[in-house]
Amino acid sequence: YGRKNKMGNGYDMLMWQKEHGIPRKKAQKLTPEQMRGKFLIGELYSTEAPEYTESYGRIMEQAQSSL
């Protein structure tokens, strides 16, 4: 990991992420200048979607009923 992105060992990469990751709510209060070199962490996008197994079960029922 670290050699490929020139960030040192795994510990160094984790510390860099800890120092540069900013929670979304905190980032809303910062200026663009303060956000320079940082990245957002946390829930960035949320949408309602059916759970995979529910969709799969419904598709299986439809396929079996058409036989």
Q: Which domain holds residue 19?
A: 2-65
Q: What is the percent of the chain with per-residue pLDDT over 90, rounded to a whole number?
A: 67
Over residues 10-34, mean pLDDT: 92
Taking the CA of residue 34 as centre, how many other CA atoms within 13 Å lie in the half-sphere pointing to its CB? Answer: 7
pLDDT at 43 over 90: no
**CB 46, CB 65: distance < 8 Å:** no
Residue 22 in this model has a pLDDT that exceeds 90: yes
How many domains, in total, are found in the chain? 1
Please give the pLDDT value at position 10: 83
| pLDDT band, residue 57 (cuts 50/70/90) | very high
Q: What is the pTM of this model?
A: 0.56
20-28 long-range contacts, Cβ below 8 Å, gap at least 24?
none
Structure confidence at residue 1 (pLDDT) = 59
